[in-house]
């Protein structure tokens, strides 16, 4: 059969000031057709798994596009419409569909980016089987369920099973096409907004819920997914959901998702994260550094996490660390193209005083920090490229834009032209910084850095500098959220 495959990924933080035009969806915009196919092959992604599974089963794969943007603000209408039009146009003449989506896309012209796309695909191919692979932080809607036959999401956070998720959904699609299974979907969405820090799958209630999903699959369900939702989207229901796929047994699917949803609801208090004051976090980090043990203390500025839409230029955590006398700090990347340009013009070994960071106002939160000067020596300049060694996005080349290291008396500050996540130690080593040898490592990250940076550290301290990805949801001006919802409304009921 001829099967349409496409990747369209964006986690939309509607409170983020970072624009999301078409060029954001790739190093320089999306890739289409054969270029998208070649770029997707041999990567640890859902679309790569779709291609592998479908081709191995003897089907013809038609890749419409691969379009992935870092989390940021609401997707511009023109970009969203163009990408949906591209996918729908490529559907002509196809017999089935496999889509690698995120699940938390919000566009200027669509509060339900994935649901509206799937509705159009279903209208174009009313009888074609449709399989969807989603991020664990997808938010499920009625449109998404109504217009899909197979829905499978990641089971890990940090996400290291993107390929496995695509392979799972792809195998079910192959079995559906061949008539070996008849998938039936069931879902529950709870009035519960999770804090993303409480959606990690190695410990806590999310781990327990995912284990229940795995057990249900081992007992015969075709697929069971627990999706945390995405709390930083101002939409009707950015909430946690459970989705089940049975083999022609709607009642079994309903029973499984109900049981897991009831478990999640019983643990709702454990899904709430309480940030401590920043000055307390830094003081605690200073104490931990003085204790016996090998390796640096890891400081995670989760309030300015680029993989949730952060600007990567909030400087509160660094300045508090400097104020409290922390020394031998590695920090970065700070996204400040203006500072990068000034430092490159100054040249290597130049002593420079300039304002770094705090240049993007968080207008929706009413936060504007005046830029504060740093004085240091330009100790490194690079093109900002490195290749990820794993475990996430293994083999992918990262393009950070021009990158500079500014050596302060107390810290090495790495400054880039674009916001970046910490996929690999290469983010620092490519510019000559041996991060594990320093006393503190300050990262603008929440979770993705952990598989790489936690093993080399002797302690970890989560810091909330007050950025646009912070854990205190009461700071965010929700206007579209359907109430009551827990934890805003502690007496919320669900049955």
pLDDT tens digits for range 270-308? 999 988 999 999 999 999 999 999 999 999 999 999 899
pLDDT at 27: 84
CA 221 to chain centre: 27
CA–CA dist 340, 381 (Å, integer): 9
What are residue 374's phi and psi, to 5 degrees? Answer: -125, 145
pLDDT, position 7? 98
Predicted confidence at residue 211, as pLDDT, reads 98
Is the separation of the CB atoms in 120 and 81 below 8 Å?
no
Contact by Cβ (8 Å): 363, 373: no
Contact 281, 442 (CB under 8 A): no
For residue 391, cis peptide bond before it (omega within 30 degrees of 0): yes
pLDDT at 148: 98
Q: What is the pLDDT of residue 164?
A: 98
The size of the chain, in residues, is 495
Task: Quote the strand ranges of 41-182, DSSP E.
Answer: 60-68, 96-101, 130-134, 150-153
Based on the number of CB atoms within 10 Å of its own CB, is 489 exposed (0-12), middle (13-18) or buried (19 or more)?
Answer: exposed
For residue 427, what pLDDT is reported? 96
Pairing of strands 223-227, 403-407: unpaired
CB atoms within 10 A of CB 490: 9
What pLDDT, in 10s, does the model give residues 407-427?
Answer: 999 999 999 999 999 999 999
The answer to whether residues 176 and 143 touch, using CB atoms and an 8 Å cutoff, is no
Please give the structure tokens belonging to residue 282.
């830094």
Cβ neighbours of 420 (radius 10 Å): 25
Q: Is 234 exposed, middle or buried (0-12, 13-18, 19+ CB in 10 A)?
A: buried
Residues of the chain with pLDDT under 50: none
Pairing between strand 60-68 and 31-32?
Answer: antiparallel
Residue 380, phi then psi, degrees to nearest 5? -165, 145
C-alpha distance from residue 47 to each of 44, 173, 458 (Å): 9, 13, 37
Beta strands in 408-458 (DSSP E): 411-416, 440-443
pLDDT value, residue 391: 82
**DSSP state for residue 16 in the 8-state scheme:** -
CA max distance for the chain: 70
As to burial, measured by CB atoms within 10 angstroms (0-12 exposed, 13-18 middle, 19+ buried), residue 119 is middle
Identify whether the C-beta of residue 117 lies closer than 8 Å to the C-beta of residue 84. Answer: yes
């Amino acid at each position: 059969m001829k099967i349409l495959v496409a990747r369209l990924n964006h986690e939309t933080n509607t409170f983020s000031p970072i624009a999301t035009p078409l060029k954001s969806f790739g190093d320089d915009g999306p890739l289409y057709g054969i270029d998208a196919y070649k770029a997707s092959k041999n990567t640890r992604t859902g679309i790569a798994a779709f291609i592998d599974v479908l081709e191995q089963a003897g089907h013809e794969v038609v890749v419409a596009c691969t379009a992935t943007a870092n989390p940021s603000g609401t997707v511009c209408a023109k970009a969203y419409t163009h990408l949906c039009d591209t996918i729908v146009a490529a559907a002509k003449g196809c017999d089935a569909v496999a889509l690698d989506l995120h699940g938390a896309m919000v566009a200027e012209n669509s509060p339900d980016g994935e649901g509206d796309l799937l509705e159009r695909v279903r209208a174009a191919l009313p009888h074609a089987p449709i399989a969807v692979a989603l991020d664990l932080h997808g938010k499920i809607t009625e449109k998404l369920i109504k217009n899909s036959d197979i829905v499978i999401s990641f089971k890990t956070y940090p996400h290291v099973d993107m390929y496995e998720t695509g392979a799972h959904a792809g195998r079910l699609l192959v079995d559906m096409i061949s008539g070996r299974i008849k998938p039936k979907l069931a879902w529950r969405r709870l009035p519960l907004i999770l804090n993303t820090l409480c959606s990690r799958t190695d410990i806590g209630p999310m781990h327990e819920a995912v284990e229940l999903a795995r057990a249900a699959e081992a007992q015969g369900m075709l697929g069971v997914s627990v999706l945390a939702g995405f709390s930083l989207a101002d939409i009707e229901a950015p909430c946690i959901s459970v989705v089940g796929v049975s083999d022609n047994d709607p009642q079994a699917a309903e029973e499984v998702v109900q049981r897991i949803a009831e478990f999640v609801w019983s643990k709702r208090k454990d899904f709430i994260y309480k940030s401590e004051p920043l000055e307390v976090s830094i003081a605690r980090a200073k104490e931990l550094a003085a204790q016996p043990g090998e390796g640096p203390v890891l400081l995670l500025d989760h309030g300015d996490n680029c993989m949730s839409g952060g600007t990567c230029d909030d400087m509160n955590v660094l300045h508090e660390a400097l104020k409290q006398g922390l020394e031998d700090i590695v920090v970065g990347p700070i996204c400040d193209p203006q500072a990068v340009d000034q430092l490159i013009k100054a040249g290597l070994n130049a002593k420079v005083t300039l304002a770094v960071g705090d240049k993007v106002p968080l207008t929706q939160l009413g936060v504007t920090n005046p830029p504060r000067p740093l004085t240091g020596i330009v100790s490194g300049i690079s093109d900002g490229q490195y290749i990820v060694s794993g475990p996430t996005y293994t083999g992918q080349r990262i393009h950070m834009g021009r990158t500079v290291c500014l050596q302060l008396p107390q810290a090495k500050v790495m400054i880039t032209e674009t916001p970046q996540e910490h996929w690999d130690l290469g983010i620092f080593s490519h510019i000559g910084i041996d991060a594990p040898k320093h006393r503190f490592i300050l990262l603008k990250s929440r979770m993705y850095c952990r598989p790489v940076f936690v093993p080399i550290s002797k302690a970890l301290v989560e810091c909330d500098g007050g950025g646009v990805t912070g854990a205190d949801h009461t700071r965010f001006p929700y206007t579209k959220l359907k109430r009551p919802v827990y934890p805003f409304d502690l007496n919320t009921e669900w049955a």
